[in-house]
Each structure stands twice: as C-alpha cells, then as structure tokens.
Amino acid sequence: MTLRIAVIGAGASGIAAAARMRAAGHETTVFEKAARLGGTWRENRYPGVACDIPSHLYRYSFAPNPDWTTEYAGGAEILAYLDRAAEALGVAGLIRCGEEVRRAELQGRRWRLTTTTGDAGAFDMVIAAMGVLHKPVLPAIPGRERFAGPAFHSARWPEGLALDGLRVGVIGTGSSATQIVSAAAEGAARIDLFQRTPQWIFSVPNRPIAEAKRAAFAAEPERMRNLYDLLGEAMNGRFAAALVGRNPEALAEIEANCRANLARVRDPDLRARLTPDYAVGCKRLVISDRFYDAIQRPNARLVTDPIAGIEPEGVRTAGGALHALDVLVFATGFDTFNFHRPTTVLGRGGRDLDAEWAVSSRALRSVAVPGFPNFFFVGGPNSPIGNFSFLMTAEAQVGFIEGLAALIEDGGTPRLVAPREEATQAWNARLEAAMPATVWAAGGCSSWYFDRSGKVASWPWTYEDFTASLARPNPAEFEIA
Ligand code: NAP
C-alpha cells in the first residue's frame, strides 16, 4: 500500500526521512519554510562555520561521500553534500519550499496540514523533522536595539559581511562564538569576546584530506567503511560513552586533552579567566585547536566584566568601560526543544501538543507521542545530542519510523499507530532514572541540554543502546487501530 506522507523540514533529518519513505514506495512531500533545503547548514553562514563531528561520520550510509576535503567539514561543504544527496536520492523534487506548516490536525484517520500558502491536503502519516537548534535567542541586554552598526545573531549572518579591519564584538562562548573568534581574529582590527561562562575546549587538528586519499575512497568504498568504523568506535564508543558515565577512563582522557589545550594560554591571568569551574563535558564540549591562539592575539580581548548594556557605540560593561565596536555578534544560542513549534499540532480528541509539551517534551523512543497517531519525530525528545553524528542518529530514527509505516499499512486501509501511555511513561521513567549518571546532569553547569523543567533532555545511554532501542518497533508498545 502506498501511504501519503508529509515530511516537515528539509534539513539533514528531513532529507533522510524523505529518502527512506520514497525508497519504500510512499508518496512523499517535504514542506520547507525557507527558500532552499539545508536546515542548520543553510542558516549558519558565519565565518569559520564547521562541524565538530568527523566528516566521514557526517553522512548518510545510503549516500556515502568520498569527497570530504577536510577531516572536519566546513558548513558550505556540508550544505553542498546535502544538496547532492537530496538530488541523488530523488528528494530534491519532493520539496515544497517557502511553505511553513502552521497547523497539523488529525481529522478522522488522516492529518490535514495547513501551510503558509493554505490547505496542503490530507496525509496518512506526518514526520516532523524540524530541528532542535533553529530558534535563535537574542539576549535580554538593555539597549540591545540601540547599537549603531550591524548587530545580529550568529545564525543570521548578513550576506557578504566580512570582518576584516573592523572592531568586532562577540557575545557568548559556545561552539558558534569559538568558531567565529577563531576565524575572524586574524583579519579584524580588534575582537572583543564577551564571556559569561568559560568553556572546556577539546583540541583536535582539522587536517586536509589529500586528493589521492579521496580518489582511493571513491575507487574502493571499503576503505571509507573501514574509516567510518574506526571513527564510529572513537566517537560513539569512547567519547559518547564517557559523557554518560560509562567510560571513566575515556572521560579522564578528554579532560586531560582539554587541560593540556588550556595550558597553551601563557598569561596566567587570562588562563584563570578561561578556566571553567564545572566538569569537562558538562556543557557541550567545544572542539577547537585554534581558539586559544586566536584569543591570545594582541588584537583580541577576553572581556569577563559582566555586560551592563549596549549603546550605539558599543558594549558597556559593569565596571563602566565602553568597548567601542563596529559589528556586534550575538552568539547566544538557541531556544531548544521546540521540536514542533511554531506548528500547532492537534491530535486525537483535539489534544494540543503545545500544551502537552509546555514544560517537558515526552515521547516513546524519541519518535512517537501518545494521542498523536501516525505523527512521528526525527530528532525528537531525548534524541542524542551529546556529540553523536546527527545524520547517523536521524537515520536510525527514520529506520524505526519505516517500521511504524509498515504497521500502518499492514491492512486494507491505513491504520492509526500511537504509543501506549503506559509504555511511554515506563520509557520516560527509565530515561529519568539514568540521567543523574551523565556528566550533563552531574557536572555542575547550566546549558541548553536542560529543558524548561530543569531536566537534562538528552540521551543518557550509549550509541549502541540508541540504535538497539530503534531496531524495530515492538507492536506491544503501540495501540494499533
Ligand atoms: P550555546 O552553546 O548555547 O552558547 C551560547 C553562549 O551565549 C553561551 O556562552 C552563553 O553563556 C552565552 N550567552 C547567552 N546569553 C547571554 C547573555 N545574556 N549574556 C552573555 N552571554 C550570554 O550556543 P552556540 O554556540 O550557538 O551552540 C549551540 C549548539 O549548536 C552547540 O552546542 C552545538 O551543538 C551546535 N553547534 C555546533 C557547531 C559545530 O558543529 N562545531 C557549531 C556551532 C554550533 P552561558 O554559558 O553563561 O549560558
């Protein structure tokens, strides 16, 4: 049976979902709010934007890429990969750009979607692949609107804006700020980094991948698979297990790396100000072998005096100093865990997902929600966000959703498949019980891993546990009507 499936979002997870549903023979439409595909890699165009997952892990298994030019790919190269993959997998032609889904309502046995351009029809199944980090947060600093020059969020970089010769201010010290400062410090006249909380920074070189090696990958895909296995073991086996309290030795190695990296800061005062007071790995680890060089440049300043306000000329700090600037970048992160927002999602009996998830987002195995049959998530609640490859995790979730689609179509007419409330409760109780052992919960920091209820909302087990949990749906966990 062919199902009529809507995918919301044409980022990395939406492309994966659409590719698999199309390959399974379903009639698939992808709704994308923007003018092109790409998700986070379309939105983030700041200088130095790159992925902190090894490039050879950052790909779909069904669209291998021998052509990565560096060990950690830059944003533009990833966007180009997604473009190619969407074309090769037959997804590009399924995308309806410029159509944001505003409402999804279960009417009888189908989901009716309304987009910014009107009624989009009824679907047997909906896959929400809307991303976690897509709603920029601008800080509530007095005078934010008064700055005279360009002032913008890191994910809203003005087309063509270069920082060479300018006095640049960057607020924030996460992955985005660190990459911007590392890339811009050399050309800028001055760079002021406004730090509220220092970060642990893990050093990994980003080496080019030689042309001969790329040619060998293309000629012998087996080599690529071997590299993938090797990297998978390092990232998923050691790194990720360390963060969830399952590999203390590996966590000690990560800490040693971060401390050795920090020791490269020569000035003891600067080093002290850059030293976090929480456990390594508690906040999402920043990956950079360039940042400490950048911040030690004579034209760079680390500002730790709290920000008092923003004025037309620059940023005023609490001690009274005015930091005069030409450009101000808010690398202040995202309003996370907005899996379905701003779409209104109305399930069985008019249940409103917004209300149900007002404080905490709960799902069964990160994919399905009681009361919302045939409406599934990629990158949903408790998806692994602790340094796994998002493309790999999206693929695992899409595989599970394919299993759910099989349950839906297992009959003469499409059936309604929703998780049982008790199964979902039991699943979430297990998640909650496991969370305290993770470094995110126990490490003494605050971060975007915490949801509105103050709970860490990531995946508290290993990568193997994750893929095993999604091997195939257990019909006993679902109501099938
Ligand atoms: P982030 O990690 O949430 O960092 C936001 C930064 O802004 C923090 O340093 C925060 O300080 C600071 N901040 C927020 N409000 C502030 C205020 N009012 N005054 C002063 N400082 C303020 O955001 P991000 O750097 O954009 O990164 C988000 C996530 O995106 C990353 O963790 C990562 O998962 C992903 N990402 C990945 C890459 C990559 O692959 N390399 C690159 C960019 C982003 P506090 O710590 O004190 O709250």
Say whether pLDDT at 451 is over 90: no
CA of 289 to the centre of ligand 1 (A): 18
Residue 132 has a pLDDT of 85
State whether the beta carbon of 172 lies less than 6 angstroms from ligand 1: yes
Domain count, the chain: 2
Same domain (yes/no): 88, 108: yes
> Using a 6 Å cutoff on CB, does residue 458 contact ligand 1?
no
Q: Are residues 313 and 367 in the same domain?
A: no
Q: State the Cα–Cα distance between residues 234 and 173, nearest whole angstrom.
A: 26
pTM comes to 0.96
How does pLDDT run across 371-417, given as a tens digit for each residue? 999 999 999 999 987 768 899 999 999 999 999 999 999 878 999 99
**Counting Cβ atoms within 10 Å, is residue 428 exposed (0-12), middle (13-18) or buried (19+)?**
middle
Host domain of residue 74: 4-135+335-480
Region of poorest pLDDT, from 268-277, 298-307, 440-449 = 440-449
Radius of gyration of the chain from its Cα atoms, rounded to whole angstroms: 23
Please say if the pLDDT value at position 463 is more than 80.
yes
Q: Which two tokens stand for residue 403?
A: 């299993």
Cβ neighbours for 290, distance < 8 A, ≥ 6 positions apart: 182
Q: Choose one of 45, 170, 290, 332 to mutate for the ligand 1 pocket test, by most ligand atoms within 8 angstroms of C-beta.
A: 332
User: Is residue 47 assigned to a domain?
Assistant: yes
Q: How far apart are CA 131 and CA 41, in angstroms?
A: 11
Q: Would the CB of 45 count as within 6 Å of ligand 1? A: no
- In this structure, are residues 141 and 339 in contact, taking their beta carbons and an 8 Å threshold? no
Mean pLDDT of 320-347: 94
Does 184 reside within a domain? yes
Of 370, 378, 374, nearest in space to 353 by CA: 370
Mutate-to-test residue for ligand 1 from 196, 315, 391, highest number of ligand atoms within 8 A of CB: 196
Name the average pLDDT for the chain.
Answer: 95
Position 143 in a domain? no
User: Which residue CA neighbors atom 17 of ligand 1 most closely?
Assistant: 139
103 with 198, same domain: the answer is no
Q: Tens digits of per-residue pLDDT, 161-209?
A: 999 999 999 999 999 999 999 999 999 999 999 999 999 999 999 999 9
> Do 381 and 442 have their domain in common?
yes
- Distance of CA 114 to CAs 135, 345, 362, Å? 21, 11, 25
| Shared-domain flag, residues 166 and 314 | yes
Is the CB of residue 52 below 6 angstroms from any atom belonging to ligand 1? yes
* Neighbouring residues of 26: CB distance < 8 A, sequence distance ≥ 6: 2, 3, 4, 5, 125, 405
Q: Which amino acid is at 163?
A: L
What is the pLDDT confidence band of residue 24, given thresholds at 50, 70 and 90?
very high
Residue 294 and residue 174 share a domain: yes
- 115 and 165 share a domain? no
Look at residue 217 and tell me if it is in a domain: no
Q: Are residues 157 and 254 in the same domain?
A: yes
Which residue out of 45, 46, 70, 176 has the highest number of ligand 1 atoms within 8 Å of its CB and is therefore the one to mutate? 176
Sign of CA dihedral 84, 86, 87, 93: negative
Per DSSP, 462 falls in state -
pLDDT tens for each residue of 37-47: 999 999 999 99
d(CA 195, CA 201): 14
Question: Which residue, of 330, 363, 383, is where some domain finishes?
Answer: 330
- pLDDT for residue 415: 97
User: Does the C-beta of 177 come closer than 6 Å to ligand 1?
Assistant: yes
Beta carbons within 8 Å of 109's beta carbon, 6+ residues apart: 124, 413, 414, 416
**Which of 306, 330, 354 is where one domain is finished?**
330
State which of 309, 330, 351 marks the end of a domain. 330
Same domain, 470 and 339: yes
Answer whether residue 306 is part of any domain. yes
In a domain, 457, yes or no: yes
Q: Is residue 365 domain-shared with residue 464, that is, in the same domain?
A: yes
Q: Are 70 and 91 found together in one domain?
A: yes
CATH number of the domain that residue 271 is part of: 3.50.50.60
Q: Is residue 233 very low, low, confident or very high in pLDDT (cuts 50, 70, 90)?
A: confident
Asked whether 51 lines ligand 1 (CB < 6 A), one says yes
Q: Ligand 1: which of 43, 132, 134, 173 to mutate, most ligand atoms within 8 Å of CB? A: 173
Whose Cα sits closest to atom 23 in ligand 1? 333
Both 29 and 122 in one domain: the answer is: yes
Closest residue to atom 46 of ligand 1, CA basis: 197
The answer to whether residue 212 sits within a structural domain is no
127 in any annotated domain? yes
Query: For 70-120, how does the pLDDT look when each residue is reduced to its tens digit (9 = 90+)?
Result: 999 999 999 999 999 999 999 999 999 999 999 999 999 999 999 999 999
